[in-house]
Chains A and B, each alone.
Chain A
């Protein structure tokens, strides 16, 4: 029976290599093998027209490696989706809070590392600025301008769109490590301004469809301001 399902897997045409991974793990774990038999017959078709709800039904019994790799890939796609934003974005469709956590913590730790104080104030500053900003903007989006967006979607978008600023912070960190950052204030200003512009553009592009035409600027204005402030803080702590 097991070899039959193996043949079935070989012929199922799908591009999720995670299917193969799950087979290997199930082979070594006899517990999951009979579950996997059942699963393969219900194909986890990754074709774009299968509604996500279908795939979710199948994931109740999926092997754990599948879950992990699937979630990691989704996070990766979202980070890419923030760097190259389109209007109908995956970040909006499936939200998760890994983006805000990863980006905020990453930027905070980099700034902390550059300045090297032991009191941890750089991390705290960026942390508070980001989360208070996100809170205010989410409140603005959901309650004041009544956009078609849920709270978590908004937090998710704002978090992932920190990606460009994380890139800017990484550049500053490498400049600091290579010891070239003295006297480069203007260059750093340009870099952080570009980062802020890119972030703000990405967030606006993703969020633009949620607001009605007349409230567009009222909703998106604070987003631009937030990314501008974050870039200033990054610039201030960058050397």
Chain B
């Protein structure tokens, strides 16, 4: 298995550095650079969840709902894997089979100034990536314990697809297979971020040029 490959031949460093005429100032860092991409990142995931909940609640026919949700999930998987990951946060993961028929998984991350992407896009990307599987887990419990096993299969499929993307991107980000210490580290930084925000918000500070440091 190949991960942490030596870096890609120079993709030109993010174009924004040169295009900053209208965008200088602290404001520029808070705006989404790729709003359409961010929109699509959220669109298919939320559509899949909404269609599922809607069809479940109103007892629409199982087959049309199933097919629709599966199609939405597939579109979401493909979009997140091939487009939003590399554009929003500069991460990518894929698989290839070489001449000896050995399968390799490759996890790549963009290094340099733009590593990880801009703060607003990073927020959008990771929030959507983490929140949706959590919602599907909740839906799993509701469908499983109400004994609607057909729907449970659909939820499991959703979890598989979205979990795969989540795992792939976490692995890209970390550079190695995630373990318990990584989970602990993430929880720790997450909690300290929340505490920090509460502390600064309590002081009533206005956003400053250093605002980006919070993310």
**Which A residues contact B (CB, under 8 angstroms)?**
30-35, 37-38, 42, 52-53, 56-57, 60-61, 64, 67, 71, 92-95, 98, 101, 105, 108-109, 112, 118, 120, 123-124, 148-150, 152-153, 210
Interchain nearest-CB distance for A52 vs B (Å): 7
Q: Given A105-B70, A120-B61, are A34 and B12 also a contact pair (CB < 8 Å)?
A: yes
Interchain nearest-CB distance for B82 vs A (Å): 6
Interchain nearest-CB distance for B71 vs A (Å): 8
- Would you give 11 A-B contacts (Cβ < 8 Å), ordered by A? A33-B15, A34-B18, A42-B9, A57-B8, A60-B86, A60-B92, A71-B78, A98-B74, A105-B70, A105-B71, A148-B101
Q: Is B83 engaged at the interface, CB distance under 8 Å to the other chain?
A: yes
Chain B minimum-CB-distance residue to A148: B101
* Contact A120 B34, beta carbon cutoff 8 Å: no
* Contact B67 A109, beta carbon cutoff 8 Å: yes
* Contact B9 A150, beta carbon cutoff 8 Å: no
Compute how far the CA of A109 lies from the CA of B66 in the bound complex, rounded to whole angstroms: 11
* Contact B63 A123, beta carbon cutoff 8 Å: yes
* Contact B63 A120, beta carbon cutoff 8 Å: yes
Q: Is B118 engaged at the interface, CB distance under 8 Å to the other chain?
A: no
Q: Which residues of A contact B34 (CB under 8 A)?
A: 31
Main SS at interface, chain A: helix
Interchain nearest-CB distance for B113 vs A (Å): 15
* Contact B11 A38, beta carbon cutoff 8 Å: yes
Task: Fill in one digit per residue for B42-79: 1 if any A CB lies within 8 Å of its CB, else 0.
Answer: 00000000000000000001110011001100100010
Q: Which residues of B contact A101 (CB under 8 A)?
A: 70, 74
* Contact B12 A38, beta carbon cutoff 8 Å: yes
Choose from A37, A93, A108, A118 the contact partner of B12 (Cβ within 8 Å): A37
Compute how far the CA of A95 lies from the CA of B96 in the bound complex, rounded to whole angstroms: 8
* Contact B96 A71, beta carbon cutoff 8 Å: no
Main SS at interface, chain B: mixed
Q: Given A38-B12, A42-B9, A60-B108, are A149 and B67 also a contact pair (CB < 8 Å)?
A: no
* Contact A60 B11, beta carbon cutoff 8 Å: yes
Q: Is B193 engaged at the interface, CB distance under 8 Å to the other chain?
A: no
Chain B minimum-CB-distance residue to A29: B36
Q: Which residues of B contact A95 (CB under 8 A)?
A: 95, 97
* Contact B82 A71, beta carbon cutoff 8 Å: yes
Q: Is B19 engaged at the interface, CB distance under 8 Å to the other chain?
A: yes
* Contact A67 B15, beta carbon cutoff 8 Å: no
Q: Is B41 engaged at the interface, CB distance under 8 Å to the other chain?
A: no
Choose from A56, A61, A150, A152 the contact partner of B11 (Cβ within 8 Å): A61
Compute how far the CA of A53 lies from the CA of B110 in the bound complex, rounded to whole angstroms: 17
Interchain nearest-CB distance for A123 vs B (Å): 5
Compute how far the CA of A93 lies from the CA of B99 in the bound complex, rounded to whole angstroms: 8
Q: Given A34-B12, A101-B74, A149-B101, are A67 and B96 also a contact pair (CB < 8 Å)?
A: no
Choose from B78, B82, B86, B97 the contact partner of A150 (Cβ within 8 Å): B97
Q: Given A60-B86, A101-B74, A150-B103, are A34 and B97 also a contact pair (CB < 8 Å)?
A: no
* Contact A92 B97, beta carbon cutoff 8 Å: yes
Compute how far the CA of A30 lies from the CA of B66 in the bound complex, rounded to whole angstroms: 40
Compute how far the CA of A148 lies from the CA of B78 in the bound complex, rounded to whole angstroms: 27
Compute how far the CA of A154 lies from the CA of B11 in the bound complex, rounded to whole angstroms: 34
Compute how far the CA of A150 lies from the CA of B11 in the bound complex, rounded to whole angstroms: 31
Choose from A30, A92, A94 the contact partner of B19 (Cβ within 8 Å): A30
Task: Fill in one digit per residue for B1-17: 1 if any A CB lies within 8 Å of its CB, else 0.
Answer: 00000001101100100
